[in-house]
Structure 1
Amino acid sequence: MPAISSKGLSMPESPIRKLVPYAEAATEKGKDIFYLNIGQPDIKTPDCALDAVKNNDLEIISYSHSAGFASYREKLAGYYQKGGIPVNTEDIIITTGGSEALLFTMGSIADMGDEVIIPEPFYANYNGFATSSGVNVVPVTASFEDGFALPPISEFEKKITDKTKAIIICNPGNPTGYLYTKEEIEQLAALVKKHDLFLVADEVYREFAYEGKKHHSVLNEVGIEENAIMIDSVSKRYSMCGARIGCVVSKNKEFIATAMKFAQARLSPPTFAQIASEAALDTPQSYFDDVIEEYVDRRDTLINALHKIEGVKVATPHGAFYCIAELPVEDAEDFAKWLLEDFDYEGETVMIAPASGFYSTPNSGLNQVRIAYVLKKENLLKAVKVIEEALKVYKK
């Protein structure tokens, strides 16, 4: 039998999606499932994006430029400029989702065996992207007790070697919902400047900052123009996860030229999704105001309900739409499987993401889960009730 590659065998499973077979089996048994495991918003996609596709009269669905439509990149640059980010059309490459942007970035900045430092817990697919690129992830663990704030810079400095190529952050964070402060970004900027590293920021949740807090982009930082790389996407901002349109943005011309070679190798991003994404930039601010108000309401509903369950702890997020909760169990993955296989409360159960898959350090986060508060409040309350009743039974 032909052998599978060692790289393929070492690819980690998604902690978000690997329980899908259990959910499918639960559905076949007639259970209703509250999906708290994945960041798929139920917020309506803006009409302007939908109409751009519905009303399009294209007769040929042709390739676009490998960097994406020039009209889209120009309009996107304008969006960033309004937010105080001084980028131009030539600083942007449109990608097939933020995932491809991260793959292009790792391929452009790191060679086989090089290292990237990432505060953990982090978006689980960073492990997969690193594995597929032959790059090693070096974690710096953030504290649950501190709400997953940026670990001390001294902890990052301890991990820097001659193999280190970049520090990668997600801001606001997935899975934690932590929003890095301006001061924390400044500390990271000084560090990468000192050691001549890249600072890669996944900013796909940039619009979702709460309590009047402001998102501070790495591209707002003066003096690290050659170091800073931003990853972005339309998936969460406009509730367009299935469009699979993202971008990589940097003032570093050599980096952009290198990433462009990867873009050329995959030909071009999808045409209709770019049309929808370009139109989405006309979405009025009122849309985001309403969405943010809704997510804050959902967050507060979820956090307050979880706090009422004996033995459950939760770190309150200030951005994105995720939180990390500690459960009174030894193995959250076993609990998550059990919820789907063996438990229901009045015909309903819950799908959650075990948080251990969001860590690189072995045996970390074993009693933690990531919860995405992307459901309506009444369903969030029902889901928490299921978890409460499940814990009573599971602990016995």
Structure 2
Amino acid sequence: MISPKKYAKAAKMIPKGFKTANEFFNYVYTDDEMIWMGQNTNHLHDENGIMEAMLESIKKRDYCKYPPSEGFPELKELVLKDLGLTDGFEILITAGGTESLYLCTNDILGPEDNTITSDPGYLIIDNFASRFGDHVKSVPIYNKKCGYKLTPDLVRENMDKNTKLVVLIDPLNPLGSCYTKEEIKDFADLAEDNDIYMLHDITYRDFARDHHLVADYAPEHALTIYSFSKIYGMAGMRIGGVVGVPDVINSLRSIVINDLGTNIVAQRGAIAAIKTKNQWIDRIRNTTRGNQKIIKQAVDQVEGAFIPVYPSDGNMMAIDLYDTGIKPLDVAEYLLDKKIFTREGSYTSKLFGHRYLRVSYSVPTKDVEYFAKCFLEAVEALKP
């Protein structure tokens, strides 16, 4: 019998009444009345050019053919233009940003190398890095002193001669903290001075008030992870990419898993998404930023509860409940009974998950207003 390999994994807490995480997610996915505030997905797109492009692709039966293995040239050019990285950069289109993260950790890390990540963070990256490198140093960043993010000084304090990779999730899932230009330049200098790589996961970039790329300042030491799951509202289509200089991308090509290409229908939608971005992005940003305020007003009514990073530069935020004496898992289960899907903190933190509830708010404002009402009801019902 094959023994399962043991790597760093998120502690997915399964709500009562479900045997497995897959069973739970199938339940919330198939319930059409469920308000989806637990996976940072974007539900604010109307019927628009993105949907039309995918429907047209299906009608033409594009799905009967394999696409170009690295992505349609038009899509690749559009992503690079969107990032302003048209000169001296290349991109591989992948099945979501997650595949890009896997390829990068696989390619960069050797058995003796270590990786620096943050806690809280996106723990699947720790999982990947622990497969290919020696170990992962997950730096605690859940405090005001560091601004609830992995700073250049923290990296310097925790790196050693075998550090090969630093992971920047920017804005950070689950807190929504983001980096200034000065901090990004400092990270770039750190990477060049120590000959290490910065894995810059910019999945939530388009929700940020201001955002900067490591690739602009240390191009040969940066790998930029691009995703269509969030601002473009295409999470279920599983499409993203990784951007780097030619030498880096050539190295990644040697270990590509999906050499028959990425979902054609998703790529057609992605092309339309970038082309129409200026038509809808302001509306989505304005809605999410207004939705934040509604949640903040509710949280401010609860003694002991607070939002560590406000305003958030992502489409999610953490609500710290520790001083209320209420467990985030209990709140999540209470809200689930009200048809609201949220996530307790252990999914994104090993050290601090018992403190907070993560809530995403790229959903219609009426749903956020309903959440605010039910959240206050949950606090009243569950308080010690």
Same fold (TM over 0.5): yes
Matched ranges for 1:19-168 at <5 A: 21=23, 34-44=35-45, 47-56=48-57, 57-58=60-61, 61-81=64-84, 85-87=85-87, 91-112=90-111, 114-133=113-132, 136-145=135-144, 148-168=147-167
After superposition, the C-alpha distances for 1:338-369 in whole angstroms (9 at most, x for unaligned) are: 5268xx5xxx254321223322xx54332212
Q: Out of 141-150 and 283-292, give the one that drifted further.
A: 141-150
Aligned pair partner of 1:390 in 367, 378, 383 = 378
Deviation, structure 1 residue 207 = 1.3
Closer, same or farther: CA 304–5 of 1 in aligned 2, 3 Å: same
Q: Which amino acid aligns with 2:357?
A: V
Q: Which residue of 1 aligns with 2:228?
A: 234
> In 2, distance between residues paired with 1:308 and 1:33?
25
Matched residue type, 1:70: P
One-letter identity of the residue aligned with 2:334: L
Could you tell me whether the CA contact under 8 Å between 1:37 and 1:351 is conserved in 2? Answer: yes
Structure 1 stretch 131-140 or stretch 96-105: which is displaced more?
A: 131-140
SS of structure 2 residue aligned to 1:6:
coil
**What residue identity is the alignment partner of 1:78?**
K
State whether structure 2 residue 263 is matched by structure 1 residue 270: yes
Is contact 2:116–2:138 with CA below 8 Å preserved after alignment? yes
In the aligned structure 1, how far is the partner of 2:14 from the partner of 2:82? 31
Which ranges in structure 2 are unaligned for 5 or more consecutive residues?
Answer: none
- TM normalised by structure 2 equals 0.87
Report matched runs for 1:324-335 at 5 Å.
324-327=318-321, 328=323, 332=327, 334-335=329-330
Q: Which secondary structure state, in structure 2, belongs to the residue aligned with residue 319 of structure 1?
A: coil
Could you tell me how far 1:131 is from its partner in structure 2?
A: 4.1
Please report how far the alpha carbon of residue 153 of structure 1 lies from its aligned counterpart in structure 2 after TM superposition. Answer: 3.0
Structure 1 alignment gaps of length 5 or more: none
1:55 aligns to what SS in structure 2? helix
Within 5 Å, which residues of 2 pair with 1:199-210? 199-210=198-209
Matched, 1:217 2:210: no
For these two proteins, the number of residue pairs brought into alignment is 376
Instruction: State whether residues 67 and 262 of structure 2, in contact with CA within 8 Å, keep that contact through their aligned partners in structure 1.
Output: yes
Give the secondary structure class of the aligned counterpart of 2:206: coil
Matching residue within 326, 334, 337 for 1:339: 334
Q: Deviations over 1:233-284 (max 9, x none)?
A: 1111211111111000011x33211211222654311112112112222114
* C-alpha contact (below 8 Å) 1:147/1:178 kept by paired residues: no
User: How far is the alpha carbon of 1:113 from its aligned partner?
Assistant: 5.3
% same residue: 23
Letter in 2 for 1:335: D
* Residues 142-174 of structure 1, C-alpha deviations (whole Å, 9 max, x = no match): 244358444453321121123311111111121
The structure-2 alpha-carbon separation of the partners of 1:265 and 1:59, relative to structure 1 and needing over 3 Å to count, comes to closer
Question: Which AA in structure 2 matches 1:229?
Answer: L
Query: Once superposed, what is the RMSD of the aligned Cα atoms?
Result: 3.0
Corresponding letter in the other structure for 1:242: G
Would you say 1:369 and 2:370 are equivalent positions? no
CA distance in 1, matches of 2:29, 2:235: 23
Per mean C-alpha deviation after superposition, the further-off stretch among 261-270 and 276-285 is 261-270
Query: How much has 1:32 moved relative to structure 2?
Result: 6.7
- Call closer, same or farther: CA 1:285–1:67 in 2, change over 3 Å: same
Q: How big is the shift at 1:109? A: 0.4
The separation in 1 between residues aligned to 2:381 and 2:326, in whole angstroms, is 15
The residue matched to 1:216 in structure 2 has which SS?
Answer: coil
Q: How does 1:293-332 map to 2 (within 5 A)?
A: 293-315=286-308, 316-327=310-321, 328=323, 332=327
Closer, same or farther in 2 for the Cα pair 1:228/1:55, shift >3 Å?
same
TM-score (norm. length: structure 1): 0.84
Q: Which amino acid aligns with 1:351?
A: F
